[in-house]
Structure 1
């Protein structure tokens, strides 16, 4: 069984820049650099047969070149009781169109789209214990973040496995 999602990889130089801020608050359990990506579509569990169908359909997808810009932060579901601290990805029409095209292909294969609306972001921190979290200090940490942009070469179909220490 595969746990699948589509994503865009972030270039290493930008990830290094992002992670340089995390070193200023080492006591937090930040998302690891190798796990950071821009999720486009969470697919969920799929057997071998469905995985191969998805892979084949997505391989033939064409889409407009897009530019991705990162900057600004936020919390899901909000600052009052946050569970995720994220870096904003400026939503372009090209990025939204790519996400929607993938969603349509997946729907054609019987995979239901996510109920929540697509919000492009890069997860920086999964917040487990809110008692020791200073939301203002965390937000201020990334206030000096300079907007970074890149043009992705492709999107990727990923398979992950959930473990007690997080996804791998």
Structure 2
């Protein structure tokens, strides 16, 4: 019997309700371009810590979960600070992603590196290794451009972002969630598999 989930699986931190309220306000700022954009549902907003793979077995998820439980005393709650709303990553010629940037603290970098290390040590064949920690940009995806962004659309998105007036938002993350993602024509469908508190 195949015990693979048959969908993309990732490890993520999820924001609290107060952060989601602020996120709702940010998303509403883009209403005049709503026809050109596709935003995630609020309950899908997250910060990916590691993409585990496209076809991860239930056994591998159990092994990783047990390994994280064993090391939970080495993991501490993370204060996640959301700073600027951004359109595209640095150096991208054709941006598509609208996201909330996460302050890259030493604590978050260490936390991420430790989690990646615990998973890598298991040497599971169906798990994607995290290759370059330095290039990992912590962020919370808000939405995407439905098609390629024209110059006028890109200009409008950047103008909207400049006009967003919101204080920095922060929340405390105390658990890691294993999530499976199935891509559909209307966007991803998420399913929570399990959580590890720390």
The TM-score, its normalising length taken from structure 2, stands at 0.75
TM-score (norm 1): 0.87
Q: Indicate the residue corresponding to 2:82 in structure 1.
A: 70
Question: Are 1:86 and 2:99 an aligned pair?
Answer: yes
Name the counterpart of 2:143.
125
Q: Which residue of 2 aligns with 1:59?
A: 69
Q: State the structure with more CA Rg.
A: 2
Give the structure 2 partner of residue 35 of structure 1.
Answer: 44
After the TM superposition, which parts of structure 1 deviate over 6 Å for at least 4 consecutive aligned residues? none
Query: Structure 2: 5+ residue runs without aligned partners?
Result: 190-198
Q: What is the CA-CA distance between 1:87 and the residue it aligns to?
A: 0.8
Q: Hey, what's the Cα distance between the residues in 1 that align with 2:46 and 2:56?
A: 21
Give me the CA root mean square deviation: 2.1
Residue 119 of structure 2 aligns with which residue?
Answer: 106
Q: Where does the alignment leave 5 or more consecutive residues of structure 1 unmatched? A: none
| SS at structure 1 position matched to 2:120 | helix
Count the aligned residue pairs.
Answer: 168
Q: 1:164 maps to which residue? A: 185
1:101-125: CA deviation from partner (whole Å, max 9, x where unpaired): 1111221222342345211101111
